[in-house]
Each structure stands twice: as C-alpha cells, then as structure tokens.
Structure 1
Amino acid sequence: METKGKFQKLLAVKSPKKKLNIRDFYITPFRFYTFVGVKLFHWDEFDIMTKWQKFVLTVTIANLIFSFTWKIFFLMVDEFESTVQMTEWFLYISFAANGFIKTLSVVWGRKILDRVLKTLGRLFPRNAKECEDFKLTEGYNFIHYHSRIMVYSHWTIAFMFMLFPLVQSGVEFIHTRVYVQRLPYILAYPFDTSPKPVYIFCYVTQFMAGFVLSCYFLGSDTLLLHTVYMVVLNFEYLCFRIVHFEPKNFEQDMAEIKDVLEKHYLLNDLAQAVNNVFSLSILMNYMISIMVIVLIGVQIITGSELFDFIKFGGFFASATIQVYYVCLMSTLLMERSASVGDSLMGQKWYMADVRYQRMLTLAIARSQRPAHLTAFKFFMISMESFSNLMTTAYQFFTLLQSRMEEGGL
C-alpha cells in the first residue's frame, strides 16, 4: 500500500464550501509570513506590501537583532551554571538558526518559487470535471490536515517555552509568597533587569523573538510541504489522464502523448526547482535536528526537573514531527512521479497506431527516474532517510552518554 493511502482514513478536515483556487492551498504558509510583515510573493499587481507590514517587519527584525546580540553576549560575559543550562542555550540557538536558515533559503529563492507558484496556478483545474479528476478536495483536506498537526504541535511547544517561566514563578509565588523573575531564554543584558518595567520589556522582547522565529520556521516548512504536495497532485492527475487514455486516431493520439510528455517534463522541472531552493535548508535541518535530539537526550539523562523534562520532551516531539513530514512529502513525490511510467505501460497502447507505440517507449524511458528532494545533493530525502536520522541521533546520544559517564558529569 502506498504511503498516502495509509493516511486517507485520518482526514478530518471539512470540505470547503467555496470553489478552491491556488491561493487556498497556500493560505497557511503565507499567513505566517504576513503576520510578521514578510511579503515574498505577489499573486497579481494588487497584491502589494502594506505600510503596516513594512512597520511590523522593521520592528520584528530590530527585535531579533537586539535579542541575538545579547544571546551571543552571554558567552562572553557569563558562564553556564550546569550542563543542563549549556545544552538549553545550544538548543535555543539551534532553533533560532534553523528558523533563519529556512527563511533565508526562501528569500534567496523567492524568484524561483514565484515561477513555481505561478506555473502551478496555470496548471490548476479550471472546472468541476477537472477538479473531480484532480481529486482537488481530497488533496486540499490531506495537506491541511497534516499541516495542522505540524503547526499545532509546534505552537504548543513554542508557547510552553515562552510562557513556562511565568507559570513556574507563579506556582512558586503561591507557595512561598516570593516572586522570582525568570525569562524564557538565556540572554545576558548589559543592564539590570530586576526593575519591573525593565523585566516586562525583556520578557516581551524575548516572547516576540520566539513568536517571530516560530512564524519563520512554520512559514518555510508549510510552504515546502504545500508546494511539493501540489506537484504530487499534478503527477496524480497526469497518471489519471494516462490511465484513462482511449486511442482515437494518430493525430489526436500524438497530440495527447506530446502534451503528456510536456507536462511530465514541466512537473519534473518544478520539483527540481523546489529542491534547489530548499535543499540547503533541508540539510541544515537534518544536522540541527540530530543535534537537537542528542541535546534533549542530555537534558533527560542529567536529571532535569519534571517541568523541564516535559518541556524538552515536547521539543523533541515537535522536531521529529517536522522532519517526518518533509520525508513523507518527498516519499510521496518519488512514488507519484515513478507511477507515471507504470501508468504509461498500463494504458491501452496496444490499440493505438504503431508510431504512437514507438513514441510511448520514449515517454516510459523518461519516467524511470522519479523526482525527489535532496539534502544539498548529499542524500535523497525519504522515509528511509528519516529512519537513518533517528538511528544516527541515537548513536550520537549513546556515545555522548558514555563519555559523560566516563567523565563523571
């Protein structure tokens, strides 16, 4: 059974009442970007960046620079109290770096992605019959259902990190009547943060930085997933056309096979373009995910408190889910693009003209190499690579654990 079929029973998203368009498939990623003032794409001449978005973008970038400066400043003026605090600092900086790399990849490749999205818009089904053959509603439900799983899991953990200090201090205040000021992240400010207005300012700026980075993170990830899945849907529709091919006459049959070849070449080109934009960020994401998983393991074995255990356990789950969905979409892409050749061999070619049959061999030969995503050309992304990532992370974790035991940490 193919990968997608395993998830069909999980679909719980209600079918949209209005007629779908290409923008509906991208409402989730663009909503994250828009919320933090980022405007990377213009669907038409009326889709412009507003003054409010420019203001929000300026404020959020200034705040990120401010927060990153004092986070790095911590290494120069302070010392880690324990291994737990050190791994916690590296987890935070890894998450931030991952979000930046993802967004920078999109910014650098925005012209390529603009071409990809506009092309997918031209390939979008135009009438009810095409929508039905395209399985548009099912595809819309599928991608939004799984996007929501990734988004909700991420936000749950993100808000847990950002609000946890307030909850912890509040619980302690109830028992001891003493309020201990805590901040979400480990930074070293060159000023006293104990005065209440200053403490509130620092907490708000850190909360804002975490929120913005989460939007960067989710905006880039959902953009990748939705774009790859739109290509997957087009491959499925192409297979549908091939399977339901009925030979008529030589001219019409040749026109059909020519259109199929052109569409197949175009879809492979779109998949390659998406891979060119995201391959570096996928590689960095793999490397950072391994480090995150290992460091979370360190947090657990060094005897973290229960609240910290829950917090970093959730971090581990969120990081794993994100990598899993990238691998899932790449696997779907490989399966659907490879099925084009099977569809060509299974159509009623034996009823067509001999010249058509000869042309068909070329089409089958071109379909033997499936489209896929890569981690900067080092390896292909698939469910197998997801399994390898988890295995590699576990091996690093056991090695680090043995080193820590030998060192008495």
Structure 2
Amino acid sequence: MITMLSFYVLPLQGIFVGERHLPYVLTIPFDYRPWPIFTTIILLCFYIGVLVATVIISESYILAMSILNLNGRFVLLEEEILNLGDEVLKLENPETIADQFNERLIVLVKRNVNLIKFAERLESQFTFPLFVMMADSAFVLCLLAFNAHENGFATDSIKYVIWLLAKVLELVVLGYFGSVTSTRVDGLGTTYYSSGWEKVIYKSNNSKANVRTMKLITRAISFNQKPFMLTGLGFFNVCLETTLTVIRVAGSYFTFLCSMR
C-alpha cells in the first residue's frame, strides 16, 4: 500500500510548481490539465491502484493467516503433549494411570494426524502461488534496484525504493513462516519423548499398559520423522535460506545489468 501511495509523490510535487503529472504511465487523447478533469483522473488512478494492491495483498494475507493458524495449533498441541505426563500423575492411581495416559495420548496423536493432513493440503493449495512469488522475485528485485539506481536521487526513484523494500519484506516473511512451520512440525517427535511417559511407567503397576505406552510413544515419534516443508512446486523449499538465495541472485543480476549499462 505504501508503494502504491508513493506513485502519487510526483503528482503532488507537481501541483506546487504548477505542473500536472500522472501517477502511472498513461496515454490520454485529450487535455487533462484542467483541474476538474485532472482531479477525476487522479481519483480514478487511486481507485485502480487500491484494487491492484488489495488483490496482491489478499493472496499473501490468506497464506500468512493459514500458516499462522497452523503454527498456533501446533503450539497448543505441543503444550498439551508436554503437560500430559504431569496431568496424569495427579490421578495417583498406580493401576489405571498408564491407561489414562494412553487414552489421552491417542487423542493427541489423532489431532497430530489431522494437523499434518491440513499442512499437506495447505502446501498443495499454495505451492503454485509460492513458486510464482519466489521465482519471479529475483527478476523483480533486480529491475527495481536497477531503476532506482538509474534515477539516482530523483523523486521518481522513491516508488522503486519502497517497492524494493516491500518485496524484500514479503520474501523474508514467507521464508520465516516456512522455516518456523517446518521446525514446529519436525520437532513433534522430541515433544512426544518429553511428555513424561517414563514418570508414568515408573509409577504404574500395570505392566501391559506400560508396554502399550512405550509402543504408542514409539509410533508417535516415528510418525513425525517425515520432514515437512512448504515448497514451490517441489523445486525449492520456502525458508529463510531460499530467501537469502533469491536476494543474492537478484544482486548478481543487478551487477550484470549495471556492467552492461
């Protein structure tokens, strides 16, 4: 949105010096300099800019909210798993304590399975948009940096600088969300191991239930051994390392263009 507003710096500056500048490159087959016509065109351009910006924002916003929701549900699941052993130990019944632990553990594992399925659906839904966002970012960053470099300290270069910063911020946020989600999912195996199951077995007198507890913990850990990553059509993983790679490639393209110039 700030990038869109930066396109109006030049028209506002022109008003103070008696000139009529348009925010975007337009070919108008009539004289638009009279105030009523010029004001109408500026308002229409602003409306079109808002429409374009909100469409661009909406896709990233939906993706970010979905990832944040997924991450938050995994955080709640982790807390319940870590507190599972302590909650069951409060029952203080050596005969049924292991069975109680197993029943609650099965419920948490089922939630874990559903969250993994949701994460896989999320990845399949957004894998193409992520591919487009990340794949063309190096090219866009290169062109924005080159245009800002060519314009120097002119007023017209403000929009390129802000657009460049917005694009870098988008890449960093996407990479951060991808890294956090992957780390959260991959760390569930360790979370199950830290659930306090050994304390339950130590206090329980039911050997069959104890054996079942160890089998359930083993299966829960094995289920979460498969790594999860948001990808761009399988060509790359969406993470901070990929973001740094895109920025480095954009820098290489920019250096090449400057040398050719």
TM-score (norm 1): 0.56
Residues 239 and 339, structure 1, Cα contact 8 Å, conserved in 2 = no
Q: Which residue of 2 aligns with 1:333?
A: 181
Q: Which residue of 2 aligns with 1:166?
A: 11
CA distance in 2, matches of 1:334, 1:344: 17
Matched, 1:187 2:26: yes
The residue identity in structure 2 corresponding to 1:264 is N
Q: CA deviation at 1:373?
A: 1.4
CA distance in 2, matches of 1:219, 1:294: 24
Residues 6 and 158, structure 2, Cα contact 8 Å, conserved in 1 = no
4+ residue segments displaced more than 6 Å: none
Residue from 156, 169, 173 that aligns with 2:2 = 156
Structure 1: runs of 5 or more not aligned: 1-154, 174-178, 405-409
CA distance in 2, matches of 1:338, 1:395: 34
Q: Which residue of 1 aligns with 2:106?
A: 258
Residue from 270, 280, 295 that aligns with 2:143 = 295
Q: CA deviation at 1:184?
A: 1.2
Taking the TM superposition and a 5 Å limit, the aligned residue runs for 1:94-109 are: none
> Across the two proteins, how many residue pairs are aligned to each other?
242
CA distance in 2, matches of 1:357, 1:259: 16
Q: CA deviation at 1:195?
A: 5.3
State the identity %. Answer: 18
CA distance in 2, matches of 1:317, 1:195: 33
Q: Which residue of 1 aligns with 2:258?
A: 401
CA distance in 2, matches of 1:205, 1:277: 34
CA distance in 1, matches of 2:237, 2:101: 36
Q: Which residue of 1 aligns with 2:118?
A: 270
Larger-Rg structure:
2
CA distance in 1, matches of 2:41, 2:31: 7
Residues 338 and 367, structure 1, Cα contact 8 Å, conserved in 2 = yes
Q: CA deviation at 1:232?
A: 0.6
Q: CA deviation at 1:326?
A: 1.2
Residue from 39, 42, 45 that aligns with 1:200 = 39
CA distance in 1, matches of 2:186, 2:40: 54
Which string of whole-angstrom CA distances, capped at 9 and with x for unpartnered residues, describes residues 15-37 of structure 1? Answer: xxxxxxxxxxxxxxxxxxxxxxx
CA distance in 1, matches of 2:236, 2:244: 13
Q: CA deviation at 1:397?
A: 1.2
Q: CA deviation at 1:388?
A: 0.8
Q: Which residue of 1 aligns with 2:74?
A: 235
Q: Which residue of 2 aligns with 1:386?
A: 243
Q: CA deviation at 1:378?
A: 1.2
Alpha-carbon RMSD across the aligned residues, in angstroms, is 1.9
Structure 2: runs of 5 or more not aligned: 89-95, 202-209
CA distance in 2, matches of 1:385, 1:303: 30
Which string of whole-angstrom CA distances, capped at 9 and with x for unpartnered residues, describes residues 127-169 of structure 1? Answer: xxxxxxxxxxxxxxxxxxxxxxxxxxxx2222121x2232221
The residue identity in structure 2 corresponding to 1:214 is A
CA distance in 2, matches of 1:287, 1:349: 45
Residue aligned with 1:244, SS = helix
Residue aligned with 1:245, SS = helix
Q: CA deviation at 1:188?
A: 2.8
Which string of whole-angstrom CA distances, capped at 9 and with x for unpartnered residues, describes residues 340-387 of structure 1? Answer: 111111222223311110121111011122433111221110111111
The residue identity in structure 1 corresponding to 2:5 is F
Q: CA deviation at 1:309?
A: 2.8
Residues 193 and 202, structure 1, Cα contact 8 Å, conserved in 2 = no
Residues 293 and 316, structure 1, Cα contact 8 Å, conserved in 2 = yes
